[in-house]
């Protein structure tokens, strides 16, 4: 496998807070162009792992390579350029409450100091359309949005710099089933249009079944399996077995078995 076939490669990662070990020799490889779900119990360290991936935090030990580059070894300018290659949607949406939708989406673009306001306007409006919001929504404040709209604005902001890797923490949590389904369609379309690699955390089985190529299971402080949903059946671990039971019921209903993409 050439190094470019991996969007993200996590090797021997340990995370420790005081005497508590969150990740113990954790390994995971995400292929370019795949949608990978990260599942695990509450508090198992999923959000912490996503934060490591996008470079917001650094593991106590181990290495994380994004498209063959170790962010921790880059200088400031190198890291800034590398960070433009991915977007993150946080568990809480995390919009700036004092900024309009427009200014929220424009934020990462302005930070780059590379675009004039006219270009920014075009880019913001394009991203708004991409997440199926109307131009008039640009002038609203986060408090004036519904939960589903907040998620879409956060997604538009994550997409602002046209990332190759999108990291989503519970993108459909708190949305009604209809909205969740629309969100899943949106991600699937974006994946098709932009060829994105997506790593996402979810507790929602419909979201999982709707958009996953492979699933990584975080249990006992490391990734115990990274496989297709159907292959979960053969993973000999209580969390995986339990999880598979839920997925299987969903798959029976929706008939959406997915196989891993070939590379």
Ligand X SMILES: Nc1ncnc2c1ncn2[C@@H]1O[C@H](COP(=O)(O)OP(=O)(O)OP(=O)(O)O)[C@@H](O)[C@H]1O
> Minimal distance in Å, beta carbon 103 to ligand X?
28
Burial class (CB in 10 A: 0-12, 13-18, 19+), 179: middle
42 is a contact residue toward ligand X (CB under 6 A): yes
Closest Cα partner for 173 from 128, 197, 207, 213?
207
Residue 87 touches which of Mg ion, ligand X, none (CB < 5 to 8 A by kind)? Answer: none
Residue 83 touches which of Mg ion, ligand X, none (CB < 5 to 8 A by kind)? Answer: none
203 is a contact residue toward Mg ion (CB under 5 A): no
Cα–Cα distance, 201 to 124 (Å, whole number): 26
Binding test (CB under 6 A) with ligand X, winner from 23, 31, 46, 127: 46
Instruction: Give the x/- contact pattern for Mg ion in 76-115, rule: CB under 5 A.
Output: ----------------------------------------
171 is a contact residue toward ligand X (CB under 6 A): no
Residue 145 DSSP SS3: coil
Can you give the three-state secondary structure of 199-217, one letter per residue?
EEECCCHHHHHHHCCEEEE
Who's near 97: CB < 8 A, 6+ residues apart?
141, 142, 143
Closest Cα partner for 249 from 216, 213, 206, 210?
206
Judge contact between 189 and 200, C-beta under 8 A: no
44 is a contact residue toward ligand X (CB under 6 A): yes
The interface with ligand X within residues 143-162 (CB under 6 A) comprises none
Binding test (CB under 6 A) with ligand X, winner from 23, 39, 48, 183: 48
The interface with Mg ion within residues 41-70 (CB under 5 A) comprises 47
174 is a contact residue toward Mg ion (CB under 5 A): no
Q: Is the CB of 57 or the CB of 254 nearer to ligand X?
A: 57
Q: Which residues of 142-159 are buried (b: 16+ CB within 10 A; e: fewer)?
A: beebeebbbbbbbbbbbb
Residue 196 DSSP SS3: coil
Binding test (CB under 6 A) with ligand X, winner from 26, 30, 36, 40: 40
Q: Is the CB of 125 or the CB of 173 nearer to ligand X?
A: 173
> Minimal distance in Å, beta carbon 20 to ligand X?
7
Cα–Cα distance, 236 to 88 (Å, whole number): 32
Interface positions with Mg ion (CB under 5 A):
47
Tell me which residues touch ligand X (CB under 6 A).
17, 22, 40, 42-48
């Amino acid at each position: 496998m050439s190094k470019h076939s991996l969007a993200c490669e996590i090797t021997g990662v340990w995370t420790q807070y005081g005497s508590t070990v969150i990740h113990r020799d954790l390994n995971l490889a995400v292929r370019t162009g795949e949608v990978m779900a990260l599942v695990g119990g509450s508090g198992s360290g999923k959000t912490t792992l996503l934060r490591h991936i996008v470079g917001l935090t650094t593991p106590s030990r181990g290495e994380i390579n994004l498209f063959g580059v170790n962010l921790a070894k880059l200088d400031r300018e190198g890291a800034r350029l590398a960070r433009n290659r991915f977007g993150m949607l946080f568990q809480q949406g995390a919009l700036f409450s004092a900024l309009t939708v427009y200014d929220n989406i424009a934020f990462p673009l302005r930070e780059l100091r590379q675009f004039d306001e006219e270009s920014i306007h075009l880019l913001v409006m394009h991203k708004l359309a991409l997440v199926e919001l109307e131009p008039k929504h640009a002038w609203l404040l986060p408090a004036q949005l519904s939960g589903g709209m907040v998620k879409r604005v956060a997604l538009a902001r994550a997409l602002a710099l046209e990332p190759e890797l999108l990291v989503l923490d519970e993108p459909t949590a708190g949305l009604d089933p209809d909205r969740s389904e629309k969100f899943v369609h949106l991600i699937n379309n974006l994946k098709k249009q932009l060829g994105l690699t997506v790593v996402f955390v979810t507790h929602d089985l419909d979201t999982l079944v709707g958009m996953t190529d492979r699933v990584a299971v975080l249990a006992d402080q490391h990734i115990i399996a990274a496989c297709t949903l159907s292959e979960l059946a053969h993973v000999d671990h209580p969390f995986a077995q339990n999880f598979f039971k839920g997925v299987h019921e969903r798959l029976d209903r929706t008939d959406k078995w997915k196989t891993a993409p070939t590379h």
